[in-house]
Chain A
Amino acid sequence: MSTPTEEPRSAPPTQVKWAAQVINTYRIFGHDDTRVIALDNVTVGFEAGKFTAIMGPSGSGKTTLMQVAAGLDRPDQGQVIIGDVEISNLSEKRLTLLRREQIGFVFQQFNLLPTLTARENITFPLDLSGSKPDPEWMQTVIETVGLSDRLGHRPSELSGGQQQRVAVARALVERPDIIFADEPTGNLDSQSSAEILGFMAQAVAELGQTVVMVTHDPGAATYADRVVFLADGRIVDDIVNPTREEILSHMGTPQG
């Protein structure tokens, strides 16, 4: 199957800068009986400086899409462009370095290294590449996430919400081109969720950070500038500046 490169379907007509693009991408797991098409010819772009949410029913391929777009997983077919680099030809090492330099992650759980303090966890990706954090920026980030008095603590001494904030701070401190977050608030109460989400939205609005977030929670999605809906491995909807009602109505739409 030859897949001609086309402009992402959901691209607005104006000139936009894509932080990451996934073009005509397939991701297939298993064989024969167990074959699952997790991504079925997906084309989507994530705009720089914007907060994009990915929603969809369980098993629809959200995590897979995020992992493919972030260069954690390779598609079976199709192109993935991070910044302006097409990653399918990159070696594992180059890809790792690219992830380290251009992408930040916030996972749902197991975000932090248990032996390191909060501060050390925050600077971990920078330490890996041997670079020093910009102290001013570091200070800004830490103050914004509100962790100043917790920096010397180990993850086991922090609450779930605090741990998640450390993870967000870690993603921000390296000033990546794009941050991917997979259900960052999945394990948190609404209070902590609101803090984290507000903080991420703030980073986008005030610092020009790009964020792509996978979520189940319609409330979380309202923080985003745009919501992409997945079902059965396909993009079924794409709304800009969504309201809670819009999201709920889209979620209610029967699939297919």
Chain B
Amino acid sequence: MLRLTLKNLRANLSRLFATAIAVATGTAFLAAGLMITQSLSASVEGDAAIQYAGVDVAVLAPADQGEHRLDSLDASAMEDVLSTEGVDAAAGEFVAETAIIDSDGAAIRSRSQGRAWIEDDALNPITIDEGSPPTAAGEIVVDTETAQDGALVVGDAVVINTPSGEMDAEIVGISSFGAAPSVDSGGNVFMSPDWAQEILTGGHPGWQQILISSDTPDAVIAGLEGSLQGSPEVLSSEDFLTRQSETTEEFLSILSPILTGFALLALFVSGFVIYNTFTVVVSQRSQELSLVRAIGGTPSQVRRSLLLEGSLLGLLASFAGLGLGMGIARLIEYVLERFDVRLPGVGISINPRVILLTLLAGTLITVVSVMLPAWRAGSSRPVEAMREAAVDDSGTSSLRMYIGGFFLVSGIVLLGLNAFAASEWYFLAPGALLLFLGVVVGGPLLARLYGKLAGLLLRPSMTGRIAADNMVRNPKRTATTANALVIGLFLVTLVTVAGTALKDWIEVEIADLSESDFIVVSESVIPQELVDEIARADGVDATAPIRSAAVSTASGEAVLISGSDIEALQRTAGFSASSGSLDQVISGEGAAGSEVGGFAGPGGRHDGQGSGPFDPDAGQTDPEASQTDPDEPQSTSTDDTLSLIDPEGDIIEVPIVAQFQLSLDTIFLSTVVNDDLFAQIAGDQPVAQVYVRSASGEIEHLGTTLDSLTSGFTGVQVIPGNFIGQVIGQAIDFLIAAINGLLGLSVLIALIGIINTMNLSIHERRRELGMVRALGMTSSQVRTMVRIEGILIGLLGTIVGVASGAIVGWSVVRGITDSAVSLAWGRMSLIFAAGLVISLLACLLPARHAVKVPMLEAMAAT
């Protein structure tokens, strides 16, 4: 039997090739996903281990209620640590975004991190490749990759952009981190600890964590606990390393199920294609198979032979998939690098686990998909083998109609319930599942109905008519082929419809929170001349320039104070009180505090990974807002009075007389006073932001005017008032595109499935093709006929896929938003068009194949 199996494999090579591609594509994705997550987790843990190899004890700044480590350790904590018994050396760590600006005013690398240089050799993981470490203010060391990107050498004078603004620096050394160029994937700028304290902390010295080397770590831990002010965490090196990899693991715990999910989906779709191919292979070989049985092969031998064939094919294809997966993983790595995201560590690697899992999954799915056709082959009676490729009415029984119809209807009803009635999500999954089952069970019927309809529509053209008839010659096969496409397009549509509707909804909700038309912001300051020009610009109704400063209180805390023309701010940014009254603020007798305290600015403190969609804005949201208020993350109440130290050192008492309503515009403000009071408190400060309101109907014109006004000023940006809405919208759009890109894979496999089915059908109908050619069907008519058939199958899959995706998507969105959902008709028609293009592509090969069928041989074949 093995000999027969091998022979069959060889004889059907070209036919099985397409199946192999389907299996390989599915497994490739699984392999790529596995490789990336594995190497990520391995290397991140490895990196942290290298980075903190010399650390015996670590002191971490206390965390707030959330996971955000907003606060830093006081500078005095370092003195406490150094005076603790058993401490050999200690170094403070402080990381904040710092970019090197090139001559055009743009950052060389957008995500580079500034770090305080660690002077102790045992604690420092960085090696200086060239030059020397930074020792004085104005000296920096950059990593090799940054140096390469910016063509920088030791001795170069550069401008760096830090949380304290732009400043001049000189490159004194080039560094590397083990085998990698830098600790942070976006690159590093190192500076002496003292200078880092000055510029990275925004003028409020402190450390994010303190690293300690010691021979007696336990004693040190015991000594530190209790002696330190506040409640910093003291960790042993082991706990510390675990803590370090937690973020990555969190990230991986999201990433790896996603990748695995897509891989499983691809495999699932492959299953349809494999099943279909083998069904046809079996029916084609039915004569041969019944011969095998006639000469003494038992049904189980026939089945085993087919199963063996499937497993061999699956195994071979999985090997191919493994290789392909390596390629995909490298491609992903490459694409990420283009976006300046470097996968940490040594990169993609392959290990036995990945190999085993991939081969197993690929072989398993193939064997499972072959099982049913194999079983059928074993139980087929010789009479069936004699039947010509006639009309097959199987799969259109009325029982099937009732069951399929029941599933479909109940699925839609549940989805409807999900949309309107229930606040819970109980109905969504069962509804979607029933819908899917209905499509699968009722598929052959649907295909037949659709084929009849198409036949009626295409009646005037004989070619089209025959194509429609051929399409439903075997409704089950047509349905299975179409279903492979249905799955892919269903998910693409679902993601698109739900994503787009959510995006629209969020954008509208957010637009309600925003009053100002534009906010002009700067990485450092907005020159007064520009502020004046903006105020005079055509189409401006009002402007409100904001000056901000971190001011110390009598008790030594720092408070972010913003000064503005309050009435202008009311006008431009919808600034209003949620409690108290703004009257005294306007007259300069008090301040307005924020409802919930300062805006917890974007992270990016420790590594580049924390940067969310707000990241491009990170430089402008005034990093001080998040860093200068160590003790004031909570709201100020209206009863408070701030005792602020003015530039002369005198104390000014400022009562908080109101709380302002938090909106997207005022999210950057924490304590607001009028311009006069601000000048008293903080002296002469530059403008940091300008809120702009346009005269009615002038908004677009004004946008261009502002863009051209600010274009001459480095670092000054115009943000539309609905900026956050736009950012979220873009983020959702990006997500939709990314997910659809991955889903496209399953659509691709479905494409292979259509090609396969068409080729096999043509093979089955060779004799007929020969006859119609003899009777005078031209090759172009044959081609048209095959194309129409393929497009009809594709169209069926597309219609069902897009429709069911839209239904489920509608149910999801309606369930979330409780408001009428506008379906993304535009995008849906794009998906529809894509489905048609795919069907067209799928017909190219079979159409050629059909024309090449030799007429006489086909007719002579018996």
Query: Is A99 a contact of B776 with CB atoms below 8 Å?
Result: yes
A70 (CB) vs chain B CBs: closest residue: B774
A97 to B771 alpha-carbon distance, docked (Å): 15
List residues of chain B with CB within 8 A of the CB of A92: 779
Binds A, one of B388-396, B542-550, B651-659: B388-396
**CB-contacts of A61-119 with B (<8 A):** 67, 72-73, 92-93, 96-97, 99-101, 105, 107, 110-111, 113-116
Contacts A72-B855, A113-B768; is A100 near B775 (CB within 8 Å)?
yes
Query: Is A72 a contact of B469 with CB atoms below 8 Å?
Result: no
A101 to B775 alpha-carbon distance, docked (Å): 9
Query: Is B856 a contact of A73 with CB atoms below 8 Å?
Result: yes
Query: Is B776 a contact of A101 with CB atoms below 8 Å?
Result: yes
List residues of chain A with CB within 8 A of the CB of B771: 107, 110-111, 113
Produce 1/0 per residue, B445-463, CB < 8 A to A.
0000000000000000011
Quick check: is A159 within 8 A (CB to CB) of the other chain?
Answer: no
CB of A187, distance to nearest CB on chain B (Å): 12
Which of B772, B776, B859 has the largest number of chain A CB atoms within 10 A? B776
Contacts A107-B771, A110-B771, A128-B781; is A116 near B856 (CB within 8 Å)?
no
Which of B391, B779, B855, B859 has the largest number of chain A CB atoms within 10 A? B859
Quick check: is A129 within 8 A (CB to CB) of the other chain?
Answer: yes
CB of A73, distance to nearest CB on chain B (Å): 6
Quick check: is B516 within 8 A (CB to CB) of the other chain?
Answer: no
Quick check: is B473 within 8 A (CB to CB) of the other chain?
Answer: yes
Quick check: is A154 within 8 A (CB to CB) of the other chain?
Answer: yes
B455 (CB) vs chain A CBs: closest residue: A115
CB of A160, distance to nearest CB on chain B (Å): 13
Among B469, B774, B777, B781, contact of A116 (Cβ-Cβ < 8 Å): B469
A99 to B779 alpha-carbon distance, docked (Å): 13
A182 to B470 alpha-carbon distance, docked (Å): 27
Query: Is A128 a contact of B777 with CB atoms below 8 Å?
Result: yes
CB of A96, distance to nearest CB on chain B (Å): 5
A122 to B615 alpha-carbon distance, docked (Å): 73
List residues of chain B with CB within 8 A of the CB of A49: none
List residues of chain A with CB within 8 A of the CB of B773: 96
Query: Is B388 a contact of A114 with CB atoms below 8 Å?
Result: yes
A97 to B775 alpha-carbon distance, docked (Å): 9
Contacts A99-B776, A100-B776, A127-B462; is A114 near B856 (CB within 8 Å)?
no
List residues of chain B with CB within 8 A of the CB of A128: 462-463, 775-777, 781
Query: Is A125 a contact of B775 with CB atoms below 8 Å?
Result: yes
**CB-contacts of B462-512 with A (<8 A):** 462-463, 465-466, 469-470, 473
CB of A46, distance to nearest CB on chain B (Å): 18
List residues of chain A with CB within 8 A of the CB of B229: none
List residues of chain A with CB within 8 A of the CB of B781: 128
Query: Is B778 a contact of A115 with CB atoms below 8 Å?
Result: no
A154 to B392 alpha-carbon distance, docked (Å): 13
CB of A214, distance to nearest CB on chain B (Å): 14
Quick check: is B204 within 8 A (CB to CB) of the other chain?
Answer: no
List residues of chain A with CB within 8 A of the CB of B774: 72, 99, 105, 107
Quick check: is A124 within 8 A (CB to CB) of the other chain?
Answer: yes
A128 to B465 alpha-carbon distance, docked (Å): 11
Quick check: is B787 within 8 A (CB to CB) of the other chain?
Answer: no
Quick check: is B767 within 8 A (CB to CB) of the other chain?
Answer: yes
Secondary structure dominating the interface of A: helix
User: Chain B interface residue count: which class?
Assistant: 20 to 34
B776 (CB) vs chain A CBs: closest residue: A100
A124 to B779 alpha-carbon distance, docked (Å): 16
Interface residues of A, count at CB 8 A: 25
Quick check: is A241 within 8 A (CB to CB) of the other chain?
Answer: no
List residues of chain B with CB within 8 A of the CB of A107: 771, 774, 859
Query: Is A115 a contact of B856 with CB atoms below 8 Å?
Result: no
List residues of chain A with CB within 8 A of the CB of B462: 124, 127-128
Contacts A93-B778, A97-B776, A128-B781; is A110 near B767 (CB within 8 Å)?
yes
Quick check: is A156 within 8 A (CB to CB) of the other chain?
Answer: yes
Query: Is B776 a contact of A96 with CB atoms below 8 Å?
Result: yes
List residues of chain B with CB within 8 A of the CB of A154: 391
A121 (CB) vs chain B CBs: closest residue: B775
Among B463, B776, B856, contact of A67 (Cβ-Cβ < 8 Å): B856
Query: Is B775 a contact of A114 with CB atoms below 8 Å?
Result: no
CB of A11, distance to nearest CB on chain B (Å): 28
Query: Is A113 a contact of B856 with CB atoms below 8 Å?
Result: no
Query: Is A115 a contact of B470 with CB atoms below 8 Å?
Result: yes
CB of A250, distance to nearest CB on chain B (Å): 27
Among B469, B776, B855, contact of A115 (Cβ-Cβ < 8 Å): B469
Contacts A67-B856, A72-B856, A128-B775; is A115 near B466 (CB within 8 Å)?
yes
List residues of chain B with CB within 8 A of the CB of A97: 776, 778
A115 to B474 alpha-carbon distance, docked (Å): 11
B389 (CB) vs chain A CBs: closest residue: A114
Which of B463, B767, B774 has the largest number of chain A CB atoms within 10 A? B774
Among B391, B775, B780, contact of A124 (Cβ-Cβ < 8 Å): B775
Among A73, A93, A110, A129, contact of B768 (Cβ-Cβ < 8 Å): A110
Contacts A110-B767, A113-B768; is A96 near B777 (CB within 8 Å)?
yes
Among A100, A105, A114, contact of B391 (Cβ-Cβ < 8 Å): A114
Contacts A115-B391, A115-B473; is A110 near B777 (CB within 8 Å)?
no
Query: Is B779 a contact of A93 with CB atoms below 8 Å?
Result: yes
**CB-contacts of B746-774 with A (<8 A):** 767-768, 771-774
Query: Is B776 a contact of A156 with CB atoms below 8 Å?
Result: no
Query: Is B859 a contact of A110 with CB atoms below 8 Å?
Result: yes
A19 to B859 alpha-carbon distance, docked (Å): 25
List residues of chain A with CB within 8 A of the CB of B473: 115
A114 to B389 alpha-carbon distance, docked (Å): 8
A125 to B781 alpha-carbon distance, docked (Å): 12
A73 to B859 alpha-carbon distance, docked (Å): 12
A115 to B455 alpha-carbon distance, docked (Å): 11
List residues of chain B with CB within 8 A of the CB of A116: 466, 469
Which of A100, A115, A116 has the largest number of chain B CB atoms within 10 A? A115
A73 to B774 alpha-carbon distance, docked (Å): 10
Query: Is B779 a contact of A96 with CB atoms below 8 Å?
Result: yes
List residues of chain B with CB within 8 A of the CB of A114: 388-391, 768
List residues of chain A with CB within 8 A of the CB of B391: 114-115, 154, 156
Produce 1/0 per residue, A170-201, CB < 8 A to B.
00000000000000000000000000000000
CB of B225, distance to nearest CB on chain A (Å): 86
A115 to B469 alpha-carbon distance, docked (Å): 6
CB of B698, distance to nearest CB on chain A (Å): 62
List residues of chain A with CB within 8 A of the CB of B778: 93, 96-97, 100
Produce 1/0 per residue, B843-862, CB < 8 A to A.
00000000000011001000
**CB-contacts of A148-172 with B (<8 A):** 154, 156
Query: Is B775 a contact of A156 with CB atoms below 8 Å?
Result: no
A129 to B775 alpha-carbon distance, docked (Å): 11
Produce 1/0 per residue, A195-210, CB < 8 A to B.
0000000000000000
List residues of chain A with CB within 8 A of the CB of B772: 113, 124
List residues of chain A with CB within 8 A of the CB of B466: 113, 115-116
A97 to B856 alpha-carbon distance, docked (Å): 17
CB of B239, distance to nearest CB on chain A (Å): 74
Contacts A72-B856, A115-B470, A116-B469; is A129 near B390 (CB within 8 Å)?
no
CB of B837, distance to nearest CB on chain A (Å): 28
Q: Could you write out 26 A-B pairs with CB less than 8 Å apart? A: A72-B856, A92-B779, A96-B773, A100-B777, A105-B774, A107-B771, A110-B767, A110-B859, A111-B771, A113-B771, A113-B772, A114-B388, A114-B390, A114-B391, A115-B466, A115-B470, A115-B473, A116-B469, A125-B776, A127-B462, A127-B465, A128-B463, A128-B775, A129-B776, A154-B391, A156-B390
Which chain A residues have a beta carbon within 8 Å of chain B's beta carbons? 67, 72-73, 92-93, 96-97, 99-101, 105, 107, 110-111, 113-116, 124-125, 127-129, 154, 156
Supplied contacts A124-B772, A124-B775, 7 more A-B pairs, CB within 8 Å: A72-B856, A97-B778, A99-B776, A105-B775, A114-B768, A156-B390, A156-B391
Shortest beta-carbon contacts, A-B, top 7: A100-B776, A127-B462, A115-B469, A96-B778, A99-B776, A114-B390, A110-B767
